[in-house]
Amino acid sequence: MGSAIVIGVAADPALANRLKAQAYGLGFDLAGIARLGPAETAPAFRDWVAKGYAGEMAYLPRGAEKRSDTRSPFPGAVSALVVGLDYGGASPPGTVARYARGDDYHDIMWRKLDTLHEWVGHEVGRPVPGKSYVDTGPILERDLARRAGLGWFGKNTNLINPGSGSFFFIGSLLLGIELEPDTPFEADRCGTCTRCLDACPTDAFVEPRVLDAARCISYLTIEARGAIPVELRESIGGLLYGCDICQDVCPWNVRFSRQLDEGSALAPRDVIAEKDAAALAREILAMSQADFSAAFRKSPMKRARLRGLKRNAAVVLGNVGSAGDVAVLAAAMSDEDPLVRDHAAWALERIDSLTAPESWSTE
């Protein structure tokens, strides 16, 4: 962040357009300008946390007050460039959510946003304080993105853009300089559609636009550190890491999702590419810590840690595996982590119940 603070100094009216053009030139797919201030969704966020819908994500309530006003990150913050980076919603669905199949998007977006920060300073001829965010700080970035004109909040809680759908990352560059803001997106274009709500395997939506994270497959396979509730394990099916179901069924994604550009850093890495759910689950259950570190270097999937992925892999094999996977799960029963052993035991029982000969029936 630059040392100088620029407050109340009007920038070149055309600077916002030039900054957005630079953002597109660096590969972002969406760009808009928002004026910072009180976050409109802060009361709803506080209510959501108070009702326990954040699950074990204790970092969310810790930053609740800072999230109430987007000017809080540093003195003099007045404007934000908000960007979207498409991650290939038209790619085939799979056992790993599309966003996590390649390199870590945080690093990719931070580099681009920091480059834009440097560009602003050169363009105005003086240091401009600023800070880049990619869902890692106390900023309600969906709020900023809507304010920057990038889309509306869908019933599945994702930001939906009318020309791109929702398969994109959101990033923000907060700046201590006045920029001409874009018109906020006011329309709700979901209409009467409830496909996302109806498709959720775990019934994680309390109501439209309200998600109980503790029931969401993405939360259960990524953020949750303990055991996956037994009553939700079957609903996870073959999803090893994350879930795209509520996005897959959205008509805006069906129509507007895009393929990844050739050679994109977000393309599936070798450990994931062209593997079905059972094959990847078997491979992960056999991994050592060194194997995991090598296979998932610079991957967002490291967030779940090896024990979390092994837990998920056991559940996946319990749902989509076969009698041939008994040996793999039996070996996992010797894992040093009781979390892995517990889920492997559940999977063995489930495979046994699903593959037992009909002659074993007690009807």
Residues acting as catalytic residues: 135
> Longest Cα pair distance anywhere in the chain, in angstroms?
82
DSSP state letters, 206-256:
EETTEE-GGG-HHIIIII--SPPPHHHHHHHTT-SB---HHHHT-HHHHHH
Contact 196, 246 (CB under 8 A): yes
Alpha-carbon span 176 to 36, nearest angstrom: 10
Within 10 A of 47 (CB to CB), how many other CB atoms are there?
11
Alpha-carbon span 136 to 153, nearest angstrom: 20
Tokens coding 216: 């969401």
Q: From residue 269, give the alpha-carbon distance in Å to each of 97, 190, 263.
A: 13, 34, 11
Within 10 A of 177 (CB to CB), how many other CB atoms are there?
25
The β-bridge partners of 80 are: 34, 174
Cβ neighbours of residue 54 under 8 Å, at least 6 residues apart? 48, 60, 61, 213
